[in-house]
Structure 1
Amino acid sequence: MSANRSERTGSAKKNSAVNRLSDGESAMLFETSEDVKIITSFDQMGLKEDLLRGIFAYNFEKPSAIQQRAIAPILKGRDVIAQAQSGTGKTATFSISVLQTIDTTRRQTQALILSPTRELATQIQSVVLALGDYMNVQCHACIGGTSIGEDIRKLDHGQHVVSGTPGRVFDMIKRRNLQTRDIKMLILDEADEMLSKGFKEQIYDVYRYLPPSTQVVILSATLPHDVLDMTSKFMTDPVRVLVKRDELTLEGIKQFFVAVEKEEWKFDTLCDLYDTLTITQAVIFCNTRRKVDWLTEKMREANFTVAAMHGEMPQKERDAIMQEFRSGASRVLITTDVWARGIDVQQVSLVINYDLPSNRENYIHRIGRSGRFGRKGVAINFVKNDDVNILRDIEQYYSTQIDEMPMNGTYTCWSFKQYAISSILTCFAYYTFLNSVRSGLIFTT
């Protein structure tokens, strides 16, 4: 499929050296190809003037670590694998690269961005349009659950960039409404899920219709070895910008677990937490759609105000719920992993894993919903007796320590108001939690 693309790329020699970040970011290590240079200013990247205006209007002052390393090789036309923590600016990395590459005087689709969820595809469209505000760029979100007629109308009108989910994009290609002959760049966002069993064949279906010279860029917070091996099928000598797995734990996010012993005790634990703390905005993750519906109903019966979202809801309803949550009209969202990847709501300060994720790679995506782009956040995991091994596996996989939250001695629910209990005051995790409270991440009532 990509055999004819090798002539445009040079060799990217693998470098075992590691670049340390500056400006307070030295805790994170990036393993890169040796020809990757660090560019610390947007002004030094040779970007279009109108694009720079859009970047600064978006309140970006300095490129993040992944942007400093990945934008330049993408702009050189290289295939790139870029990995960084959630909330560090991956979406802007490829959005800036796409906007610099396209020719807005031509109304053909020149860049295709694929994402695993409709919400993420729509968010990417918003970022592209915002950064390209001074460029007169046309970008359409081509996603399932929306009007096919509207997709056809928009695509026939001409779109420089298409951001979409694989199924709907492939449908538009087969209908010949999405013309692929001028596509120069394919972006796979959240590549670990995109290339997993559920999306791999759809990606291959789309890729077969692209020109042989198409540049491929993949980005994700996690890139397991099997995914890296798989990329050899459609990438040519890619430049790698990688962060070591043992550095993947999210900087600035305090992680705790609560031992609830039994599934039946989780709800009371959550109610106690919800009743005790005033939260800016929070996301509660469950493993199944049925659990989301059940928990939402139980919380509302207990007179708690919550919103819920999962993949079985109509797209219009999901869009309305997302808009309410982004605007702050709703403060607590109960959801499945459909919300775990890439969705950016800046005010989220707390993530609760009502169920531990069944896939350990999803843990970092979930807790990354708090602490976006360097902000502080808190992640709390509800752990049953038979979940202990899962928790230990997560700790080992990410080389992190998840501290136990202090408890009321007679019950698994927390009693944060009883700060004077001397036995609790000796608990290191409690001090850590209090620091989070004092720094404004969580507010006690």
Structure 2
Amino acid sequence: MNVCLTDVYMRRPRERDNGPEGMEPDGVIESNWHEIVDSFDDMNLCEALLRGIYAYGFEKPSAIQQRAILPCIKGYDVIAQAQSGTGKTATFAISILQQLDPELRATQALVLAPTRELAQQIQKVVMALGDYMGATCHACIGGTNVRNEVAKLQAEAPHIVVGTPGRVFDMLSRKFLSSKNIKMFVLDEADEMLSRGFKDQIYEIFQKLPSSTQVVLLSATMPVEVLEVTTKFMREPVRILVKKDELTLEGIRQFYINVEKEEWKLDTLCDLYETLTITQAVIFINTRRKVDWLTEKMHARDFTVSALHGDMDQKDRDVIMREFRSGSSRVLITTDLLSRLHMWTYFYIELYLHKVRLVHHLC
């Protein structure tokens, strides 16, 4: 049985560089769009948005931002293969905000994400970047009070709605969320949404949008299901794809341990704690039952760990994530709620790299 040590991901100090971490600003990207803009100042963005970008800490756009923001704000449909940590969230957030009419009290952009946690993270980025514009953004997610959701949508009519497919579809179907003024539809982590069985809901949501709606799709990988979505929804899209030999993890050391028997894994994991100095770690497990089992075993050996999986109450999940981000919780045991590659098996290289980047960004 094989275990990849980056499944137990160790946090270490990082230096702030120009733009988001992950893909370097001069990274190689394959695209049918050849205009590259290497400065936010040269993108013809509104002054209030530029203030938000620089206040957020960005200095120079990452590779995907240099290529994807311009076609997005020009109204093209865009497909971007993007890993976590490459600046993909800011790419579509900036594009949405640039096209936003802050004076119009109506929802003008809709973003779908596969998980509640990702939707909330996107909301925070949008609010931060759009702070000087007076932009409003609402997270429309399951696990929250429906009555409060309806009241908020009707009273505020947020400029941007970020949500999970189930709750967004419900609000659209019941006409609590109006699609009349939606100009841009973003599918973030499209491959993950499709793997979770959201295909029909995504299709039905799209049918409720104006026919002129611009579509932006982001995906870590490009399986057949994602390509089918692009042919159904998109009109001559701009394609921005990371070349396979560019899917690397610069600056991250990785280790591989061959564990011959399932029952030896716990001892192997505990040995790592005695061998390494771990500031923070995430351990990925492929089932919720095993998360609970490992958490119990680690507690029995006097290790302080936290557990996170989809069966938990939303409020409990939020508390655990806040504790982990703040550093008060050092070790998090979780399922693919945070990633899509599991501790006990490995699938495609793109998914493995995506997972390590995601946790590097999280820690």
Task: Provide the TM-score with structure 2 as the length reference.
Answer: 0.89
Residues 1:326 and 2:315 aligned together: no
CA deviations 1:347-380 (Å, max 9, x no partner) are xxxxx9632245665322321234439xxx9xxx
Aligned residues of 2:24 and 2:63 also touching (Cα < 8 A): no
Q: What residue is the counterpart of 1:131 in the other structure?
A: 129
CA deviations 1:89-141 (Å, max 9, x no partner) are 00000011111111111110000000000000000000000111111111010
Pair 1:180–1:73, CA change in 2 (3 A): same
Counterpart amino acid of 1:339? L
Counterpart amino acid of 1:318? R
Q: What residue is the counterpart of 2:86 in the other structure?
A: 88
Q: What residue is the counterpart of 2:160 in the other structure?
A: 161
Q: What residue is the counterpart of 2:57 in the other structure?
A: 59
CA deviations 1:71-103 (Å, max 9, x no partner) are 000000000001133211000000111111111
Distance 2:328 2:122 in 1: 22
Bigger Cα Rg:
1
Q: What residue is the counterpart of 2:355 in the other structure?
A: 366
User: How far 1:31 moved relative to its partner?
Assistant: 0.8
Residues 1:354 and 2:343 aligned together: yes
Distance 1:221 1:77 in 2: 22
Q: Which residue, 100, 103, 109 being the options, matches 1:102? A: 100
Aligned residues of 1:79 and 1:235 also touching (Cα < 8 A): yes
| Higher RCO structure (Cα 8 Å, ≥6 apart) | 2
Distance 2:90 2:188 in 1: 11
Pair 1:316–1:96, CA change in 2 (3 A): same
User: How far 1:193 moved relative to its partner?
Assistant: 1.6
Residues 1:311 and 2:310 aligned together: yes
Q: What residue is the counterpart of 2:20 in the other structure?
A: none
Question: Partner of 1:311: helix, strand, or coil?
Answer: coil
Distance 1:251 1:60 in 2: 20
Pair 1:250–1:324, CA change in 2 (3 A): same
Aligned residues of 2:25 and 2:60 also touching (Cα < 8 A): no
Counterpart amino acid of 1:363? Y
Counterpart amino acid of 1:354? M
CA deviations 1:170-190 (Å, max 9, x no partner) are 011111110001000000001
Residues 1:276 and 2:275 aligned together: yes
Q: What residue is the counterpart of 1:118 in the other structure?
A: 116
Distance 1:125 1:152 in 2: 18
Q: How does 1:404-443 map to 2 (within 5 A)?
A: none
Question: Partner of 1:116: helix, strand, or coil?
Answer: coil
Counterpart amino acid of 1:189? D
Counterpart amino acid of 1:299? M
Deviates more, 1:276-285 or 1:290-299: 276-285
Distance 1:174 1:353 in 2: 35
Aligned residues of 1:112 and 1:187 also touching (Cα < 8 A): yes
Pair 1:119–1:197, CA change in 2 (3 A): closer
Question: Partner of 2:230: helix, strand, or coil?
Answer: helix
Question: Partner of 2:358: helix, strand, or coil?
Answer: coil
Q: Percent identity?
A: 64
Q: What residue is the counterpart of 1:437 in the other structure?
A: none
Task: Provide the TM-score with structure 1 as the length reference.
Answer: 0.73
Pair 1:362–1:150, CA change in 2 (3 A): farther
User: How far 1:25 moved relative to its partner?
Assistant: 6.0
Distance 2:151 2:274 in 1: 49
Counterpart amino acid of 2:88? K
CA deviations 1:287-346 (Å, max 9, x no partner) are 0011111111111111101111011111111111111111111111110111017xxxxx
Aligned residues of 1:51 and 1:131 also touching (Cα < 8 A): yes
Pair 1:65–1:360, CA change in 2 (3 A): closer
Question: Partner of 2:212: helix, strand, or coil?
Answer: coil
Distance 1:226 1:160 in 2: 30
Aligned residues of 1:125 and 1:163 also touching (Cα < 8 A): yes
Distance 1:230 1:123 in 2: 24
Pair 1:226–1:246, CA change in 2 (3 A): farther
Distance 2:304 2:262 in 1: 22
Question: Partner of 1:195: helix, strand, or coil?
Answer: helix
Aligned residues of 2:65 and 2:88 also touching (Cα < 8 A): yes
User: How far 1:279 moved relative to its partner?
Assistant: 1.8
Distance 2:120 2:269 in 1: 31
Counterpart amino acid of 1:39? V
Distance 1:359 1:289 in 2: 22
Aligned residues of 1:85 and 1:250 also touching (Cα < 8 A): no
Counterpart amino acid of 1:356? T
Distance 2:325 2:304 in 1: 16
Distance 1:258 1:203 in 2: 40
CA deviations 1:229-285 (Å, max 9, x no partner) are 431001110000111123223333222210110110100011111233222221110
User: How far 1:24 moved relative to its partner?
Assistant: 6.6
Residues 1:243 and 2:232 aligned together: no
Segments of structure 2 that go 5 or more residues without pairing to the other structure are 1-22
Counterpart amino acid of 1:241? I
Segments of structure 1 that go 5 or more residues without pairing to the other structure are 1-22, 342-351, 378-445
Q: What residue is the counterpart of 1:295 in the other structure?
A: 294
Residues 1:190 and 2:206 aligned together: no
CA deviations 1:380-420 (Å, max 9, x no partner) are xxxxxxxxxxxxxxxxxxxxxxxxxxxxxxxxxxxxxxxxx
Distance 1:241 1:270 in 2: 39
Q: What residue is the counterpart of 1:405 in the other structure?
A: none
Q: What residue is the counterpart of 2:28 in the other structure?
A: 29
Question: Partner of 2:299: helix, strand, or coil?
Answer: helix
Q: What residue is the counterpart of 1:77 in the other structure?
A: 75
Aligned residues of 1:111 and 1:184 also touching (Cα < 8 A): yes
